[in-house]
Amino acid sequence: MLSKTLTLGLIIVFLAFPGNAFAQELVEIVDFPKEIKAGQEFDLSIELLASPSSSYYIKARAGVVLNDMRKALTFDPNTKTWLTDTSSWSKFPTITTDGEGFWAGTLKAKMSEGTTLGTNLLLVRMRKVSATTNFDSQPKEIQVFEKAAEATPDPPSSDPTLAQNLKVILSEFSPAPEEGQEWVEIYNPNSTDVDLTGWKIDDIDGGSKAYSIPEKTIISEKSYKVFYFTNKLNNDEDSIRLIDPSGKLLENYSYKKIEKGVVFAKDSAGRWKITTTPTPGKKNNITSPISSSILGSNSPSPSPGIESNTTADADITPETLGIQNPTQDSIIIAGAESDNQGVAAATLASAGETKSSLPPIFIGGGLIFLGIAAGLPILKKEKTLLNE
């Protein structure tokens, strides 16, 4: 701790020479653990006497010798990240002195991987936010011992038994984006977070290698998580499959030709629809028209009460878990040759129906009109003969 004599002396200097009182900043580590294990987090109690009402960056430094002090990591509570000694100053925690130029607080630190075991030197380095020069505390000795073995509990959803009770579902996917990578969105309908360790996203059986979600990937409750791929999903014909950690196939949806920019998304009833409004990481937004020329004959029908050209937000519920969608006559985007033929046939059929559906009264009236038109010349000729 800064001694009373030193503090009193500084106050006297400040009163006598206020303009130069804090030309030299003073920082001191007043409390710290004398022994730690490699990788162990610890707190440093620090006191600072510097310019009044000023902001300073602060970080911990450590090493065996003073010319190599890059073995400490500093924790930033604002970003929840550990920073190395070489990180930019702007990323480190910031403190502010009071009106008398004093600050006291704690700094969280730990030794980085590769720290030399045994006696190390530990100090605090600071820099005024508006300056470019650094100043250090006096170094302290700290003993570093071998890193203790860490207990690694199994993540909840990596257990196949528990995974059956914590299922996630496919929500949306883009096999042919306008730009960037293909992506698949997963939704967690549970009221608790789910660890996706062991889950896999795959295309058609026997196609490309299944994508294994990285270990300890957490998806928050009632939230979405998006995974990106390169050349995994085909544009002309393919499937999207979701497999749980036990190897069980939970979802399988097949599709045929797809145009760029169009994505597949589940509606509020958990049925797959096409949409021209991609919403990766957010609620689905169905904005494309649903018609027989786009959906196959065995495709799910539109949701009750939702017009084909209206917008609907998907609020996917646990009841849609494990939904199995048709794998034949799946969605086909209009523009394929077979679709053009179907549309043309439908147009001809419609035209024929219109022609044959004229009311009989119009047909009879037309025949009478033709008869009168044909008989007028004959009547006129007979009248002329009578007058002669």
What does the pLDDT look like over 148-161, one tens digit per residue?
544 444 444 444 44
221: helix, coil or strand? coil
* Average pLDDT of span 245-272: 88
Domains held by the chain: number: 2
Residue 201 lies in a domain: yes
Range of the domain at 115: 17-145
Residue 10 lies in a domain: no
pLDDT tens column, 158-206: 444 444 467 899 999 988 888 888 899 999 999 999 999 999 999 888 7
Same domain, 137 and 241: no
Of 305, 314, 315, 304, nearest in space to 275 by CA:
314
User: For residue 319, which phi and psi values (nearest 5 degrees)?
Assistant: -65, -20
pLDDT number for residue 204: 83
Least confident of 37-46, 200-209, 281-290: 281-290
User: Which has more pLDDT, 206 or 40?
Assistant: 40
Residue 49 lies in a domain: yes
Q: Which two tokens stand for residue 4?
A: 């009373």
CA distance 230 to 150: 36
Same domain, 219 and 324: yes
pLDDT number for residue 362: 54
Side chain identity at residue 351, one-letter code:
A
Average predicted confidence (pLDDT) for the chain: 73
* Average pLDDT of span 369-375: 57
Contact 167, 250 (CB under 8 A): yes
Residue 293 lies in a domain: yes
* Average pLDDT of span 113-141: 92
Same domain, 192 and 302: yes
Same domain, 185 and 266: yes
Same domain, 27 and 50: yes
User: What band does 365 get if pLDDT is binned at 50, 70 and 90?
Assistant: low
**Phi-psi category of residue 281: left, alpha or beta, with phi > 0 → left and psi -120 to 50 → alpha:** left
User: What band does 350 get if pLDDT is binned at 50, 70 and 90?
Assistant: very low
Same domain, 91 and 170: no
Same domain, 237 and 294: yes
Side chain identity at residue 324, one-letter code:
Q
pLDDT number for residue 359: 55
Same domain, 169 and 85: no
Residue 379 lies in a domain: no
* DSSP, residue by residue, 37-96: ETT-EEEEEEEEE-STT-EEEEEEEEESBTTB-B-EEEEETTTTEEE-TTS-GGGS-EEE
Residue 365 lies in a domain: no
DSSP 32: -
Same domain, 186 and 332: yes
**Rounded-to-10 torsion of CA 154, 159, 165, 171:** 90
For 138-196, list the strands marked E by DSSP.
140-145, 169-174, 182-188, 194-195
Side chain identity at residue 279, one-letter code:
T
Residue 369 lies in a domain: no
User: Which has more pLDDT, 229 or 388?
Assistant: 229
CA distance 168 to 190: 8
Same domain, 180 and 290: yes
pLDDT number for residue 24: 73
Residue 262 lies in a domain: yes
Is the pLDDT assigned to residue 375 strictly greater than 70? Answer: no
